[in-house]
Amino acid sequence: MATGMEQNVVDRWVATVAANLNSRLTTETLAIKRVLESRIDELRGDARLLELLGASIEGNVDTILHTLQHDIATERLEAPAAAMEYARRLAQHGVPANALVRAYRLGQRALLDSILKELEGTELDASLRLSVAHRIFSVVSDYIDWISQQVVDAYEHERERWLANRSSVRTVRVRELLNEQDTQTGAGEADLGYSMAQHHLALILWFPDTGSERINDLEQATHAIADCTGAQRPPLFVAFDRVSGWAWIPVGKGSVIDRPALRKCVRERSDGLSISVGTPAYGHAGFRESHRRAQLAHDIAIRAAPDERRVSFYDEPGLPTIALLSNNIDETRNWITEVLGPLAENTDSAERLRCTLREFLSRGSSHKAAGDVLNLHYNTVKYRVKKAEQMRGQPIATDRLDVELALHACQWLGTSVLN
């Protein structure tokens, strides 16, 4: 049995190890997040959900490390808000509860591995190191047992509430259609109040997450946007979670979407609504394909700066390719740095030059046309283009295609690919 003096030494080392790890909280969080993404298929996919996963991990790790540093009793802890919200979102998205429980088991293992590595770097003798490790493992295990009960309770409560929502039947039918479980003409259309035998324009709609439910607001916004497109039939809307939804607007064959009108319709709203838009397509297959394209545009849009999020179209220049580039951000960042050099820096001056160069290239290398769009004198455009070339260290003409794609990637992927 440890003496009082030995216990004090153990306590000090437990606090030291926890403090050292807490100084690398962001790095440890990212490492655990990567483990969970690679090991649990159900946690991949939706970019917003992955962001919340990171916040949940950070909240849990931070709480554990502070508990170790300050010897806080488990019964005095409060569950991290992000962890509870993440459990609710998984319930709303239909992710199985066992995926949530498994995430905590794998996260516990990854954190303990980091703790062991930290202990190996100390000069403690074997006996004291074992005592410190035993104390840390006991606290972490108690916390995981406690938090698992909290998040599973939150998951089950939210799942019951979500299934009772009035749109649950439509949501189930839509998911079946998207998963190709039902392709019979007219099947389930009575439940949806929406025909598959038409051209569909899919949308993803979302609000900033302020903690409140916005489902009714999303549905009303869907009808307002449908009016902006001149739809002659009612749209279909289903909630995805409490701040985002999916929609399909009936459009006529060969219809041309009035993009300026649609952008204006969204930008004039004061509620922070953002939308991503697929391309019109017909029938069951078109229902799925238009949604898939809207989802790709959405995943790119949420990586962009907030003012770029409001309206994004799948068929904007370079966006489908950028969606592919976003699958490997580290490699994309390295490639952009090779192409743009100092132009890929995360500074206001570099952003101005990137914006000017992007418009210059997209306007057929016309200084005047780019100036008209940017509200700049053509000589100013000419000066900025020349300065951009000087920063790169080579003319744009040598690899124009790569430069233009890299500029679009910077625009859409934002700080995640800048230096």
Kindly report, residue by residue over 58-96, the tens digit of the pLDDT: 999 999 999 999 988 888 888 999 999 999 999 888 888
Three-state secondary-structure class, residue 398: helix
State pLDDT tens for residues 365-407.
Answer: 888 888 888 888 888 888 888 888 888 888 888 888 888 888 8
Pick one of 3.40.630.150, 3.30.499.10, 3.40.50.2300, 3.30.70.270 as the CATH number of 199-316: 3.30.70.270
Confidence (pLDDT) at 237: 92
Place of tokens 């309770």: 153
Confidence (pLDDT) at 185: 47
Place of tokens 């429980």: 101
How many Å apart are CA 25 and CA 61, to the nearest integer?
Answer: 8
Confidence (pLDDT) at 401: 87
- 73 contact partners, CB below 8 Å, separation of at least 6: none
> How big, in percent rounded to 5, are the helix, strand and coil portions of the chain?
65, 5, 25
Of the candidates 314, 317, 227, the one whose C-alpha atom is nearest the C-alpha of residue 265 is: 227
β-strand pairing of 244-251 with 281-282: unpaired
Confidence (pLDDT) at 398: 81
Torsion of CA 200, 204, 205, 210, to 10 degrees: 160
Of the candidates 92, 79, 113, the one whose C-alpha atom is nearest the C-alpha of residue 215 is: 92
Place of tokens 């995943």: 299
- At 83, give phi and psi (nearest 5°): -65, -40
Of the candidates 16, 18, 63, 58, the one whose C-alpha atom is nearest the C-alpha of residue 36 is: 58
How many Å apart are CA 216 and CA 310, to the nearest integer?
Answer: 19
Per-residue DSSP letter, 3:
-
Neighbours of 140 (CB within 10 A): 18
Give the burial class of 125: count Cβ atoms within 10 A of its Cβ; 0-12 exposed, 13-18 middle, 19 or more buried.
exposed
Query: Which regions of the chain are under pLDDT 50?
Result: 1, 185-187
Confidence (pLDDT) at 1: 44
User: Is-contact 381 367, C-beta < 8 A?
Assistant: yes
How many Å apart are CA 341 and CA 380, to the nearest integer?
Answer: 22
How many Å apart are CA 173 and CA 171, to the nearest integer?
Answer: 5
Which residue stretches of 302-363 are H helix?
Answer: 319-325, 329-340, 348-362
How many Å apart are CA 218 and CA 240, to the nearest integer?
Answer: 10
Q: Does the structural domain 4-163 have CATH classification 3.50.30.10?
A: no
- 245 contact partners, CB below 8 Å, separation of at least 6: 204, 205, 206, 215, 218, 219, 222, 237, 238, 239
Terminal alpha carbon distance of the chain:
53
Confidence (pLDDT) at 213: 77
Place of tokens 């007219």: 186
How many Å apart are CA 369 and CA 376, to the nearest integer?
Answer: 10
Cα distances (angstroms) measured from residue 119 to each of 131, 182, 244: 11, 55, 44
Per-residue DSSP letter, 187:
T
Place of tokens 């259309």: 189
